[in-house]
Amino acid sequence: MPSQNTLVDHLVSSRTIKSPVVEKVFRRIDRKLFCPADLPASYAYQDSPAGIGCNQTISAPHMHATCMELCKEYIEKGGDEKRVLDVGSGSGYLTATFAALLVELGKTGKVYGVEKYPELAKQSVKNIQSACPDLMPYINITSGNVWEGVDEGGFDVIHVGAAAAKLPEVLVTALNKGGRMVIPVGGQNDVQVMQVVVRLEDGSIKKQDLMAVRYVPLTRPGEDDLYLY
């Protein structure tokens, strides 16, 4: 019978999940509880994206796991209080997983989710309250533009769950020294790549292209054009 554990077993055996702490939080946060209620378990626990309404998707589990592994060390190292930004937070799944990671690593702070569709933002809060209510003190989800309801700057980790046509300078500037952003970059008709951006201790920026990906576009609230900065 498909379950969260069988899904995580697959991600571990494929070496997508490498660290015990990431495995632990993925076993804790049940993906099906962040998918539409009528989605069969056989599909919710597949390593595939799934529609969540508003022409948006919850990413394939291997992409979520990859992003979490890339971000883990930047939450783990340094001080105890961490600020994480999840742009395009959708159903709230990865936002909740980031919060669970903070707890497992003994950190304080907040995970800020920003979702352009108010109905998805509202549903994501309900999802988290149902699936893992103890994590709510670590989470703040707002709807609207990237900065609506979020203090500018000062993030240790930024995850972007939709493809920007070009690297958003406003998000690069928001990274703390020693911070990391994981973001898909590329237009809908172009090759998209998962890009890792690190702000080094001297303030300079290091970028690395990891892999080809396919994400929905990062757009302005109320608009369908690519969100260009």
Residue 225 belongs to a domain: no
Question: What CATH number did the domain enclosing 178 receive?
Answer: 3.40.50.150
Under 8 Å between Cβ of 213 and 63:
yes
Determine the pLDDT at residue 170: 85
Determine the pLDDT at residue 146: 59
Positive or negative: CA dihedral 5, 92, 51, 228: negative
Predicted confidence pLDDT, tens digits, the chain (229 residues): 899 999 999 999 999 999 999 999 999 999 999 999 999 999 999 999 999 998 889 999 999 999 999 999 999 988 899 999 999 999 999 999 999 999 999 999 999 999 989 999 999 999 999 999 999 999 999 887 655 545 566 899 999 998 998 898 888 989 999 999 999 999 777 889 999 999 999 989 999 999 999 888 887 665 554 444 3
Q: Domains in the chain: how many in total?
A: 1
pTM score above 0.85: yes
Sort residue 144 into left (φ over 0), alpha (ψ -120 to 50) or beta.
left
Residue 41 belongs to a domain: yes
Residue 202 belongs to a domain: yes
Domain boundaries, position 11: 4-213
* E-assigned strand segments in the chain: 50-53, 56-58, 81-87, 108-115, 139-143, 155-160, 175-185, 192-199, 205-213
Residue 128 belongs to a domain: yes
Active site residue 89: no
Residue 57 belongs to a domain: yes
Residue 223 belongs to a domain: no
Under 8 Å between Cβ of 137 and 176:
no
| Among 19, 59, 91, 143, the one annotated catalytic | 59
